[in-house]
Structure formats: structure tokens, C-alpha cells
Structure 1
Amino acid sequence: MKKKLKFLFVLFVFGLMITATVPVKAQCAMCTATVETNSENGGAQAKGLNKGIMYLLAAPYLAIGVLGFIWYKKYRRKNVDLTNMPNQKLNLN
């Protein structure tokens, strides 16, 4: 039951993070000038450029998240009874 509640909470927080985004406009001066000129003439280059920037920004965070998840799954401790432990090395994997 606790695992389901924890999963639903994480899913809820993730959903809030996805839906509550603020448009970001982070560009160099040359890109800004080119995009402004293009959008004034009726082009749609600005939206594509902003989406590309956000994609490049999200990629490292996604990679670190995947590596963290793999590390957690591989090295987390299993349920071990510490009261009746023998004097030998344990293999927890």
C-alpha cells in the first residue's frame, strides 16, 4: 500500500512539473536577431529553436536520472535480518 501511495505521489509531482512549465527564451545575440527577423516576416523558426534548446537542456538531466536509477536498483540493500547475522561476508545483490 505504501509503495502505491509513494508511486502515485511521485507521479503527481512529475505531472505537476510537466504541466507547470514556463517558456524559456535563452539564446545568443546572433540567434535572437535572426529569429526576431524571421518571426517578423512570418516565419516559425523561433518556436523550433526554443524547443531545440529545451531538448538539449533536458538531455543531461535525463541521462543522470537514468544512471541514478540504475545505481539505486543495483546497490540498494535488501531486507537483511541483522539480529541473526553470521560472522561471514554477505552478498546483498
Structure 2
Amino acid sequence: MYTKDLRNKIKAVEAPRKVKKNGKSCLFSLLLILVFNLFSLSANAQCAMCRAALTSEGNTTKAAAVNDGIVYLMAIPYILVAGIGYAVYRMKKNKSS
């Protein structure tokens, strides 16, 4: 009897709140992220010493290749996390259906 009352009290305190889903705020967040990513493309450089060493030789194609390689190395973890996040979202969506 006591444990049943205690369980009910705990459930009442720990009742999950329903989150109101707002499509406009999600769309706005996505748009904001996209805009920031598009305008930050001109800033793809690495540390100042490496950049100075690569551009001082006069071989700008090598400097551009190193910059592109750094951008690709940086993008892979984000793509992996996004893929895992999407898989978790799909699993939760299928589970709730």
C-alpha cells in the first residue's frame, strides 16, 4: 500500500511534459544554420603559420588544396553525427507509431 502511494507520487512529480512542436521555429533554425554556413565559406583557412608557409612559396594551388582537405576532414564528423541523429529519429518515430 505504501509503495503504491509512493510510486504514484513519484509518477506525478516526474510526469513528462509534452513539448509543443513548432514547425516555424524548426524551419527558422534550419534556415539560420544554412545562412551561417553559406557566408562562412570564404573563411576556410587553417592556422596562420601553415597558411603563411604555403602561400609564401607562390604555389597557391597547394595552399587551396590543403584548405580544402581541412574542410573535408572537418565535415565528416558532422555528417556522421547527422546520420546517427536521423537514424535515432526514425527509430523513435517508428516506435511511437
TM-score with structure 1 setting the length: 0.57
Task: Say which structure is richer in helix.
Answer: 2
AA partner of residue 13 (structure 1): L
Residue in 2 that maps onto 1:10: 29
Displacement of 1:69 in angstroms is: 1.3
Runs of 4+ in 1 over 4 A off after TM superposition: 27-32
> Does the residue aligned with 1:55 lie in a helix, a strand or coil?
helix
Q: How far apart, CA to CA, are the structure 2 residues paired with 1:66 and 1:32?
A: 36
CA RMSD of aligned residues (A): 3.1
Q: 1:24 to 1:30 in 2, by over 3 A?
A: closer
Q: How far apart, CA to CA, are the structure 2 residues paired with 1:75 and 1:31?
A: 45
Count how many residue pairs are aligned between Structure 1 and Structure 2: 75
Query: What fraction of aligned residue pairs are identical, expressed as a percent?
Result: 20
Residue in 2 that maps onto 1:36: 55
Match of 2:46 among 5, 14, 26: 26
Gaps of 5+ in 1: 79-90
Residue in 2 that maps onto 1:88: none
1:41-65 deviation per Cα after TM superposition (whole angstroms, max 9, x unaligned): 3532212211110110111111111
Displacement of 1:37 in angstroms is: 3.6
Q: 1:30 to 1:8 in 2, by over 3 A?
A: closer
Residue in 2 that maps onto 1:48: 65
TM-score with structure 2 setting the length: 0.55
